[in-house]
């Protein structure tokens, strides 16, 4: 009897976002994709490192993500790797995002792309930008936690 191996659910991560922003509220959004994009995502040819979300006319759009087209894609389809993709969110979530970004000055950053059953989902966060001293504090805290773990490990 063959056992089916499920592929890893995480497709792409934006590790830079945790360094650049204070991440607060988390949302899960669907993506409106074309067929060639899904095939490329299955091959892992996606990058969301510099991606962010803009809100326009009551809808959310993902900018700055790059889905590299496959070489074997059909010739009659025009492949734009950096096209703007619409995000699929509930109305209440959209209203929350619009309110916080316009009134309170939050940015909306994409942090992860993953599979949920057969759907591609995008994890987005409401975020505030970090200043240089905040980044230094975070690095110092992380280094101290690592050093503390080492000391405790060697003591036991």
- Which of 53, 50, 109 has its CA nearest to residue 85? 53
Structure tokens at 20: 């650049």
Q: Could you report the per-residue pLDDT of 54-91, keeping only the tens digit for each? A: 999 989 999 989 988 887 756 667 777 888 899 999 99
pLDDT bucket at 5, cuts 50 / 70 / 90: low
Domains with residue ranges and CATH for the chain: 10-130 (2.40.280.10)
Please give the C-alpha separations between residue 67 and each of 13, 48, 50, 122, 138, in angstroms, as whole numbers: 13, 9, 12, 14, 31
Structure tokens at 53: 């979300």
Residue 34: which pLDDT band, with cuts at 50, 70 and 90? confident
Distance between first and last Cα of the chain:
45
Task: Quick: pLDDT tens for 110-140.
Answer: 999 999 988 999 999 998 887 777 778 888 8
Buried-state track 103-118, b at ≥16 Cβ within 10 A, e below 16: eeebbbbbbbbbbeee
8 Å CB contact between 80 and 66: no
Q: Which has more pLDDT, 136 or 28?
A: 28
Task: Give the per-residue pLDDT at 21.
Answer: 85
> What pTM value is reported for the model?
0.74
Q: How far apart are CA 11 and CA 51, in angstroms?
A: 14
């Amino acid at each position: 009897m063959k056992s089916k191996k499920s592929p890893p659910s995480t497709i792409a991560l934006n590790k830079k976002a945790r360094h650049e922003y204070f991440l607060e509220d988390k949302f899960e959004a669907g993506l409106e994709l074309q067929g060639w994009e899904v095939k490329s995502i299955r091959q892992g040819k996606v990058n969301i490192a510099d991606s962010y979300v803009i809100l326009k006319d009551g809808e959310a759009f993902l900018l700055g993500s790059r889905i590299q087209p496959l070489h074997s894609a059909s010739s009659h389809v025009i492949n734009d790797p950096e096209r703007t993709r619409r995000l699929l969110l509930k109305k209440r979530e959209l209203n929350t995002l619009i309110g916080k970004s316009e009134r309170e000055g939050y940015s909306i950053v994409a942090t992860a792309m993953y599979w949920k059953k057969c759907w591609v989902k995008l994890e987005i966060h409401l975020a505030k930008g970090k200043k240089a001293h905040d980044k230094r504090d975070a690095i110092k805290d992380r280094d101290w936690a690592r050093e503390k773990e080492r000391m405790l490990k060697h003591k036991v």
